[in-house]
Amino acid sequence: MAASPSETTSPEIRVAVDLIVLTLREGALSVLLIQRDDEPHRGAWALPGGFIAHGEDLEDAAYRVLSDEASLGSGAVHLEQVRTFGTPGRDPRGHVVSVAFMALGADLPDPRRGEDVADARWWPLSDLCAVTLAFDHATVLDSAVERARSKLEYTTLAVTFLPEEFTVSQLRGVYESVWGTTLDAGNFHRKATRTEGFLEELDRYAAPTGGRPARLYRAGAGTSLVPPLLRSGD
């Protein structure tokens, strides 16, 4: 809900999608924001979004926004619906009901600037305290981040932040960055490698980074983590 039809206060209800695109950039959980080039909230940073077209599926609209406004292909992002925000007044242009989608990807590229967009960049979440987001996007962002944090506990979602092949420490790094905690390396290794369906062991090793080379893994077939990996220490 950021660009597209730019009338003033429409008499009809319009449906939009907002995207919370999350990735890890230099070990920091970061979100893609665009700087608005139109009223309302011109110049403010906002989540990428757009109105859905008649006959368009919600997910398709989300992928469209991802490629139009964020210049990110649909390749290798995990897209998931988070919640719908529809309180009248959240958008000064009229009654807009917006379905929030969370998109997670491995080290996504820098965005090209799309239309109606003054700028687009990745923001580490930790830098956002100082920024006032447009609309109710601070709330929308929070709900997505909290969703991502809690889904790491009981699903294999963390692997979507990593390239196809990765080491256990990289995986641990995902948990540590998203949760903002530190985890015991040994215990994490055991838990990750022993949890059925989480990791598939490869016969290759990563280039050493000053220590013993780490074995490479790829994502396993499972989607849920039993037992879960809980946030309160490991």
Shortest Cβ distance from residue 11 to a second copy (Å)? 7
Note whether 184 binds DNA by CB under 7 A: yes
* The two structure tokens encoding residue 199: 């990791």
Nearest one of 8, 7, 18 to 86, comparing CA atoms? 18
Backbone φ and ψ of 160, nearest 5°:
-70, -15
Which of residues 10, 132, 209, 223 is near DNA by CB under 7 A?
A: 209
Residue 127, classed as helix, strand or coil, is helix
> Which residue in this structure is represented by tokens 């979602």?
157
* The two structure tokens encoding residue 39: 């009223």
* The two structure tokens encoding residue 24: 């890890």
Note whether 215 binds DNA by CB under 7 A: yes
Stretch that binds DNA, among 80-88, 92-100, 145-153, 164-172 (CB under 7 A): 164-172
Cα angle 206-208-212, degrees, rounded to a multiple of 5? 105
Q: How many residues of this chain interact with DNA, rule: CB under 7 A?
A: 25
Which of residues 52, 171, 199, 229 is near a second copy by CB under 8 A?
A: 52
Q: Which does residue 211 touch among DNA, a second copy, none (CB within 5 to 8 A, set by kind)?
A: DNA
Interface positions with DNA (CB under 7 A): 167-169, 184-187, 189-191, 193, 205, 208-215, 227, 230, 232-234
